[in-house]
Amino acid sequence: MVTLCDSELHSQHHNQAGYGTVKNPEHILYAVFDTTKVRDGKLYQASFDSRQLRDNDLSVCRVTHTVRNEFDTCVVKARNVLGGGLLTALAIRNITFREPENDEGAAFKKALCVHDRVLPEEYDGHATLAYASFVTEIANEKTRGSACARIRGTLAQLMQPILPLEEVPFRVVDEPEADDAVPAPVGL
């Protein structure tokens, strides 16, 4: 069972509304724009901004709770989107690292957290990715930088291929939310 970061246990929604904490089976989409760094049409470690991950500010979309039109309006806007990298929250939470990297005796530690973080100007399906505290607490700057690069590289490898938005499983407007499903009537 994956261990959650303490910060993942509570919603960080500006008005405590929305969908609550991010659940492990949820699909998480990282939008890839023409300004996103890609190499040979693929994400790589530099595709993800380390400062944004450090500051709990790397924006992603909870597609389980977002319809395509909302994504286009709130995320894409007038920018040129190439597609997106898609993973479940569980796959992101299962990314681990150990430091030092080659120390067979060193324990693997959680690398990334997935937060329900929605500011007033954002849509309810917004979330963020952040480094786990184990990463940001590495004292040696060079060692921390190396760990962060490896984590971003792993995230990029797992988010392959870049999917066209037509293949992303956005919520369909007429679908009830998983928590809002209406039980079938019981016959007498």
Please determine, for residue 179, whether its predicted confidence score (pLDDT) is greater than 60: no
Residue with tokens 């995320």: 75
pTM exceeds 0.95: no
- Count of structural domains within the chain: 1
Instruction: Give the span between the Cα atoms of 12 and 126, in whole angstroms.
Output: 11
Say which residue, 125 or 187, is predicted with more confidence. 125
Q: Is the peptide bond before 25 cis (omega within 30 degrees of 0)?
A: no
Query: Does residue 106 form part of some domain?
Result: yes
pLDDT band at 175 (very low <50, low <70, confident <90, very high): low
pLDDT of 178 reads 58
On whether residue 49 sits in a domain, the answer given is: yes
pLDDT per residue over 138-152, tens digit each?
889 999 999 999 999
Q: Is residue 144 one of the residues assigned to a domain? A: yes
Is 124 among the domain residues? Answer: yes
What letter represents residue 173's amino acid?
A: V
Domain, as residue range, for 75: 6-171
Predicted local distance difference test score (pLDDT) of residue 182:
43
* 186 part of a folded domain: no
Residue 33, token pair as written in the block: 């724009």
